[in-house]
Structure 1
């Protein structure tokens, strides 16, 4: 793969928290290397306020964020995706649209902070935990030497990032 800017689409069912955070993180960490996008199979229509709170607390941009359908990215004229990464088990199990250009796909499962029960403070703590897990994975992805790897090696690396062993060994709670 070349030194071009790679387009990455992060998918979750509702596109209200995990995929939104991943989009912002990749756009912040992967400057001049990646362009992150996010979408959902059944978008909620809003960005979770706690996701926005976590992003703002870390001084990451939140302007223009919105919950959107993955259909936007399968239409003619949509940005060509180099990578499509699901972040929730339900989106990973759904029949995805056909993405033009055969992007490399992977699944990095994260718990859904939007469904976490508890006090307001416990919810904030859980959102922060998931945010840090996603940030760790994005940092590793950003450090991959994509220009020196072939498609098979990149796919293997992306799958390894989503494996249970990687989740417990590289990501702190």
Structure 2
């Protein structure tokens, strides 16, 4: 049996960026990764624009929900192989200690939930952020330490615009 890597995505409200990253990693490489997401101030529900971005290509939206990062800090919590912060407020110096002290990195995306945004601007930011996360998740999947797929499995692809941003190193 091949090891499944556990990745935790963090974002303040866990209603958009981290949820999108969790869903994409699960959809694109769920046979090699267990994806989770959480935040320090979880929202009551997923942001509707995040659901709209995910609905066309994600097979199981029902497993997604905002969660507190405290769910991942106890002795019983799954031991992560990587923690990815998706906003400045949840970076390594703000995040709690996770069991096993997993390595962490930061992916910087503009907050599409910012105040004083017109709905059309918010929709544009969600679309841009979605494709940035697609590229980052794809780059993570292809990192050498995670690249070997079990025999008989192929990695799904989502067609994205050109230009791949720099991906963090997981170690």
> Distance in 2 between the 1:13 and 1:138 partners?
19
Write the distance in 2 (CA, Å) between the matches of 1:93 and 1:83. 12
Q: Cα 1:83–1:93, aligned 2, differ >3 Å: closer, same or farther?
A: closer
1:115 and 2:114 correspond: yes
The aligned counterpart of 1:170 is: 164
Per the alignment, residue 165 of structure 1 pairs with: none
Specify the alignment match of 2:129 in structure 1: 130
Query: In 2, Cα distance between the equivalents of 1:110 and 1:61?
Result: 24
CA distance in 2, matches of 1:139, 1:116: 30
Scaled by the length of structure 1, what TM-score is found?
0.79
Per the alignment, residue 87 of structure 2 pairs with 88
**Would you identify which runs of 4 or more consecutive aligned residues in structure 1 move more than 4 Å?**
none
CA contact (8 A) 1:10 1:23 kept: yes
Q: Deviations over 1:14-58 (max 9, x none)?
A: 111000000000101122111110000111222111000110133
Contact kept, 8 Å, 2:74 with 2:99, in 1: the verdict is no
1:20 equivalenced with 2:19 (yes/no): yes
2:90 is aligned with 1:99: no
Seen in structure 2, the aligned counterparts of structure 1 residues 66 and 139 have a Cα distance that, compared at 3 Å, is same
Identify the range of structure 1 (75-84 vs 117-126) with the bigger mean alpha-carbon deviation: 117-126
Provide structure 2 residue ranges, at least 5 long, that are not aligned to the other structure. Answer: 148-162, 166-171
Map residues 29-44 of structure 1 onto 2, 5 A cutoff: 29-44=28-43
- Tell me the TM-score normalised to structure 2 length: 0.80
SS of structure 2 residue aligned to 1:38? strand
Unaligned runs of 5+ in 1: 149-168
Please list the CA deviations of residues 53-74 of structure 1 after superposition, one character each: whole Å capped at 9, or x if unmatched.
Answer: 1101334431131111000001
Q: Report if the CA contact (8 A) 1:136-1:170 is conserved.
A: yes
> 1: distance between equivalents of 2:115 and 2:131?
16
CA RMSD in angstroms, aligned pairs only? 2.4
Residue aligning to 2:150: none
